[in-house]
Structure 1
Amino acid sequence: MSTPPMYANLTALDREQHKKLRLKLDAPVLERVAELNSLFLATVEFADACKEFPIVFVRVGTPVEGQPQAVAPLAVLGLKPGSNLFLKDSKWTGNYLPAYARRYPFAMARISDDGQDMAMCFDAEWKGFSETEGSSLFADDGQPSEFLANAKSFVEQFEMESERTRMACVKLVELDLLQDMRFEAQLGNGEKIDVEGFLTVNEKKLAELEDAKVVELHRNGLLSLLEMHRLSLSNMSRLASQYQG
């Protein structure tokens, strides 16, 4: 089982092994994103996220010969590695927090070698878990508590939206609509940096698409997603200006 960003020890939740497990609801979660300068973003979140974050795409996974490399969208939280400009004094300063972070400390993960079986998992190293304090995850009869049932529903919905996002990205790659981005930023402290490693829409290729493909993109919602992505890039300069001293 791979360990995604923000998690330390992703462990499958078992009703017998973890029947005494409790969750301290007031335990701080956001410290886990303090050194993350980006978070995965589902396409359903673009409308809210584009108002605050630059939305970019990145190549993900291991390249397979003869196949296009997969891509995924990210909300950019900072322009330097380990820099999250939306976290101050352990509090989130933005108006929108991506669902990737809101699902923590839970996640759905593939637990079989073939990647087919998925299970509800939790970060076993997070200090919010205890056997003596907090809300119980399981009732005395071994059934999930109301809290755990709601958490499971949320992470399952997140997985559904993640799959829709994956399919949307497959289409963008198929149409060859993304290109490498290089952004020259002058930070608020006067420092100049190059922001690289991200992908953005190729305006020229988008403009040259056949009418039928443009209509298809419009009808499946991808055209509006690309527009939100393009609009969000203006937030790059806003992030740059926040670096002071």
Structure 2
Amino acid sequence: MIHPALHKNPVALDRDQHRTLRVRQDYADVSHTAALNSMFLTAVEFADACKEYPIVFVRAGTDPQTQKPDIAPVAVFGLTPDENLFADGTRWQADYVPAVLRAYPFAMAQLNEQNYAMCIAREWPGFSETEGTPLFEADGKPTVYLTEMQQFLEKLELEVQRTRLVGQKLVELELLRDMRFDATLPDGNKLTVDGFLAIDEAKFAALPDDKVLDLHRSGILGLINAHQLSLGNMTRLIQRRGRRTANA
């Protein structure tokens, strides 16, 4: 998937145009994420991501077939727009890194319902013509590195589609509601974080047993529990903000 704030200059990967392009796998600077307030998560990532980040849901347009809102889960990185409290310029300050960020500078762009094109963020400083791991062999065939990256991206796109179905189910059961988070920062200033959706506890508790069993069997119940658990990380974000302010 292409993230506009992350892939600012995506170009389709071409075996002729990019025949000599290499990737410096040792390049660890994450300054390109400094203004990322959040990042899309696939459902399969919830178990790991809930230990590090608040996981909330946001509106992501409208499904063209059902005309119902598309809902996307995101990992929250900051308390204000354009703030990422996990990026320090040289490394990511969390054990788990969301899959979209791990795939960078590569991404898949959807051409139509069935076809995708592998793209690169050409502005990424880790690309080189002389250093690092090549993307193509001399004869134009993909290297093992590029083949593995393509497989990773294809799996990621499959998980994106599965995650959309989770959002559709939550909308169908009317389990989401607008939420806000009010906090007092270490310097005494008040802060409100809103514009996101979370599980409506009352509606969730009132679900009939057959609906709960269905959520359990589909794996969505576990995702709901991970989401609820992750909201405690909002307090950790305040602590991160406090440490960053103090260091500054």
How would you bin the TM-score normalised by the shorter chain? Answer: over 0.9
For 1:73, the equivalent position in structure 2 comes to 73
In structure 2, the gaps of 5 or more residues are: none
Cα distance, 1:191 vs. partner? 1.4
**Counterpart Cα distance in 2 of 1:143 and 1:65:** 39
Question: Do 2:56 and 2:73's aligned partners in 1 also have CA atoms closer than 8 Å?
Answer: yes
Identity %: 51
In structure 1, the gaps of 5 or more residues are: none
Indicate the SS of the match to 2:69. coil
Cα distance, 1:3 vs. partner? 5.2
Question: Do 2:40 and 2:72's aligned partners in 1 also have CA atoms closer than 8 Å?
Answer: yes
**Counterpart Cα distance in 1 of 2:76 and 2:16:** 40
Cα distance, 1:2 vs. partner? 6.3
**Counterpart Cα distance in 2 of 1:19 and 1:65:** 40
When normalised by structure 2's length, the TM-score is: 0.91
Establish whether residue 9 from structure 1 lines up as the match of residue 6 from structure 2.
Answer: no
**Counterpart Cα distance in 1 of 2:141 and 2:37:** 38
For 1:186, the equivalent position in structure 2 comes to 184
When normalised by structure 1's length, the TM-score is: 0.92
Establish whether residue 97 from structure 1 lines up as the match of residue 107 from structure 2.
Answer: no
**Counterpart Cα distance in 1 of 2:44 and 2:127:** 30
Indicate the SS of the match to 1:121. strand
Q: Could you list the per-position Cα deviations for residues 45-68 of structure 1 after superposition, in whole angstroms to 9, with x for gaps in the alignment?
A: 111111111100000125769722
Question: Do 1:85 and 1:239's aligned partners in 2 also have CA atoms closer than 8 Å?
Answer: yes
For 2:36, the equivalent position in structure 1 comes to 36
Question: Do 2:57 and 2:74's aligned partners in 1 also have CA atoms closer than 8 Å?
Answer: yes
For 2:127, the equivalent position in structure 1 comes to 129
Cα distance, 1:178 vs. partner? 0.6
Question: Do 1:54 and 1:232's aligned partners in 2 also have CA atoms closer than 8 Å?
Answer: yes
Indicate the SS of the match to 1:74. strand
Flag the 1:223–1:139 CA change in 2: closer, same or farther, 3 A: same
For 1:211, the equivalent position in structure 2 comes to 209
Establish whether residue 167 from structure 1 lines up as the match of residue 146 from structure 2.
Answer: no
Question: Do 2:2 and 2:108's aligned partners in 1 also have CA atoms closer than 8 Å?
Answer: no
Q: Which amino acid aligns with 1:103?
A: A
**Counterpart Cα distance in 1 of 2:141 and 2:4:** 27
Question: Do 1:13 and 1:120's aligned partners in 2 also have CA atoms closer than 8 Å?
Answer: yes
Question: Do 1:56 and 1:199's aligned partners in 2 also have CA atoms closer than 8 Å?
Answer: yes
Alignment of 1:218-237 (within 5 A): 218-237=216-235
**Counterpart Cα distance in 1 of 2:96 and 2:65:** 38
Indicate the SS of the match to 1:61. strand
**Counterpart Cα distance in 2 of 1:138 and 1:65:** 40
Cα distance, 1:28 vs. partner? 3.5
Q: Which amino acid aligns with 1:209?
A: L
Q: Could you list the per-position Cα deviations for residues 43-100 of structure 1 after superposition, in whole angstroms to 9, with x for gaps in the alignment?
A: 1111111111110000012576972210100011111112111122421111111111
**Counterpart Cα distance in 1 of 2:153 and 2:65:** 32
C-alpha RMSD of the superposition? 1.9
For 2:58, the equivalent position in structure 1 comes to 58
Cα distance, 1:116 vs. partner? 3.5
Question: Do 1:29 and 1:104's aligned partners in 2 also have CA atoms closer than 8 Å?
Answer: no
**Counterpart Cα distance in 1 of 2:113 and 2:64:** 17
**Counterpart Cα distance in 1 of 2:88 and 2:106:** 23
**Counterpart Cα distance in 1 of 2:43 and 2:63:** 23
Indicate the SS of the match to 1:108. strand
Question: Do 1:34 and 1:83's aligned partners in 2 also have CA atoms closer than 8 Å?
Answer: yes
